[in-house]
Structure 1
Amino acid sequence: MAYGPKICACCGRDDAIEEHHLYLRSDGCPDDLTVWLCSPCHGRVHQFPSKRVDISSAIKRSRVKARAQGKYVGGKLPFGYRVGGDGALVEDKEEQEILAMMHTLRSEGKVLRFIQKAAEDRGRKLSLGAIHRIVNDPIPISSRSRSSIIRRHSQGQSPDHIHRMLKSMYGEDVPMEAIKSVIEAVSGTG
């Protein structure tokens, strides 16, 4: 199975998509080590092997472009969302109702185990850690962004700089209040 969303890793097209092995099968490339390429890009890669496309950077550019278009590009789906027919994240009505219930229960002072049991009663088994993240994060952000915020804050970078970095590297426009909330949580000032 090819890595990433079914869009061209070089140009971002989403039609005429084919799998491309990252290196020659004759050199032992397994069938599951492939990426998606459109027919024209796939042809160029094979036509000019000495000028091979840097697949790694092409994938990164493609994922940033897809994320900017609101498409799901892999990883764990945030609770309350599913992948729509066009590849974009869309709200899951049932899970959104459970999210609202969990936030309401937490605002009423209920403990995490009570909230966990209420979610289970609604058909969703969640760990206490997941419930803790859900009810304590006013704005959900990816774990990758959260890790980057924590690491860059520990290196002394300002919230403004972290915000710009997340946007340029990952294509994620994380709200400034979410960045400050993560920093407050790890600093113990929140």
Structure 2
Amino acid sequence: MKPNSENFSKNSSNPDQLSHLDDKNQAQMVDVSGKAATRRQAIALGRVRMSTETLAKIQAGDAPKGEVLSTAKLAGIMAAKQTSQLIPLCHPLPLHKIDLQIVADPQLPGYEIRALVITKAETGVEMEALTAVSVAALTLYDMAKALEKSIEIQSIRLLSKTGGKSGDYQAAPETKQG
């Protein structure tokens, strides 16, 4: 059989059908070729909780594996750029800005990791921002596990996104659990 567009399933125009499933309920990459490239932005957040002693050692630059925070930041940036290779069905996107911040939070105790990702494309960058935070948190754990095995990665979530057909999103403020 000669390949042509008729041999391939089409995205359904049925709004009740999930966009990543074809008419046979098989996984598919969403066709975004008909969408306009617009500015898209996403911000994600995660936390890494640890003992006050571990936090102090990282802050002092006294971790056995070396510079924890710059390594974690670089890993998060690199991961955002590789998202389409890590998450099935994600589109490869031209990323115009990746800003990853890792800030000490003595009240946690630990670190808050925040990623801002911006593109001008046909689809959003939520997965890139979430991937940046996730891999930065995993790297922070890896770099500090010799100090403490019980470090916890917590609360990775999307804080906001702008652009695209679905419009803007802003997460509800977090409530303190006691």
* Superposition TM-score tier, normalisation by shorter sequence: under 0.3
Which has more radius of gyration? 1
Q: Which has the higher contact order (CA 8 A, sep 6+)?
A: 2
TM-score of the superposed pair, with normalisation by structure 1: 0.24
Report the structure, 1 or 2, having the larger helix content. 1
TM-score (norm 2): 0.25
